[in-house]
Amino acid sequence: MAGGDEAALSALYDRYRLILFGLLLRILHSRAEAEDCLQEVFIQVWRQASSFDEARGRPFTWLVTMARSRAIDRLRALSSRDRTVQESAREAVEEVSDAVTDAIRSEQGATVRAALDALPQEQRRVLELAYFEGLTQSEIAERLNQPLGTIKTRTRSALMKLRELLSGASANLY
């Protein structure tokens, strides 16, 4: 392959593509990303075939190391891209509003914060994870190391208590 033999690349691809694809899929959790990464690995293999040193290890070890490195690089890039998108979404366009609207929003925010503070800590934590971090109930159960049924009960109880607290508070607002 180092001499430009495309048949050698083809044979190497046929022999190792499935196992490397499985590794990449486990790391990336996305079929499309794993396929793209596998292609990049074999392009890198073709370009760097002359740098392979048989004294340092077998071709399979070299391929696995290269695939793992490419997958980790891709995860980092995806994570960076996701953070950029999230930060851009947070930078919402400022709305032109009047003082009355601002005052109402401020008072409503204070009312909601007070209602959340009135909840038991374990109920408040479940709501914070769900609504502010965007976790599902299963993810919350895993993070808090609690049974899913407990998380569902806490969520339901918290929402019922919030409804009760906020219905009384909204009557006072208007």
Question: What is the CATH number for 78?
Answer: 1.10.1740.10
User: Same domain, yes or no, for 49 and 16?
Assistant: yes
User: Same domain, yes or no, for 122 and 86?
Assistant: no
CATH number at residue 122: 1.10.10.10
**What's the pLDDT band for 90 if we cut at 50, 70, 90?**
low
Under 8 Å CB-to-CB from 17, ≥6 apart: which residues? 38, 42
pLDDT at res. 98 = 60
Q: Is the pLDDT of residue 49 over 80?
A: yes
Least confident of 35-39, 57-61, 169-173: 169-173
d(CA 125, CA 119): 9
Last residue of a domain, one of 41, 59, 90: 90
User: Same domain, yes or no, for 128 and 147?
Assistant: yes
Last residue of a domain, one of 59, 90, 121: 90
Q: Into how many domains does the chain fold?
A: 2
Q: What are the phi and psi torsion angles at 4 (to 5°)?
A: 95, 20
Last residue of a domain, one of 90, 123, 143: 90
User: Same domain, yes or no, for 83 and 15?
Assistant: yes
d(CA 85, CA 151): 30
Mean per-residue pLDDT over the chain, rounded: 84
d(CA 107, CA 47): 63
pLDDT at res. 68 = 94
27, 48, 51: which is closest to 38 by C-alpha?
Answer: 27
Residue 125 lies in a domain: yes
Q: Is the pLDDT of residue 94 over 50?
A: no
Owning domain of residue 122: 99-173
User: Same domain, yes or no, for 75 and 104?
Assistant: no
73, 63, 69: which is closest to 17 by C-alpha?
Answer: 63
If 0-12 CB within 10 Å is exposed, 13-18 middle and 19+ buried, where does residue 155 land? Answer: middle
Residue 20 lies in a domain: yes
User: Same domain, yes or no, for 115 and 52?
Assistant: no
In contact, 24 and 71? CB cutoff 8 Å: yes
Q: Is the pLDDT of residue 32 over 80?
A: yes
Average pLDDT, integer, range 121-146? 88
d(CA 158, CA 131): 12
Residue 128 lies in a domain: yes
Residue 54 lies in a domain: yes
* pLDDT digit string, tens, across residues 100-128: 666 666 777 778 788 888 899 999 999 88
Query: In angstroms, how far is CA 129 from the centroid of its own chain?
Result: 14
d(CA 129, CA 126): 5
Average pLDDT, integer, range 65-88? 84
User: Same domain, yes or no, for 112 and 65?
Assistant: no
User: Same domain, yes or no, for 70 and 130?
Assistant: no
Considering the chain, what percentage of its residues have pLDDT values greater than 90? Answer: 43
Q: Is 145 left (phi over 0), alpha (psi -120 to 50) or beta?
A: left
Average pLDDT, integer, range 26-47? 93
Residue 1 lies in a domain: no
d(CA 36, CA 140): 32
Considering the chain, what percentage of its residues have pLDDT values greater than 70? Answer: 86
d(CA 62, CA 116): 54
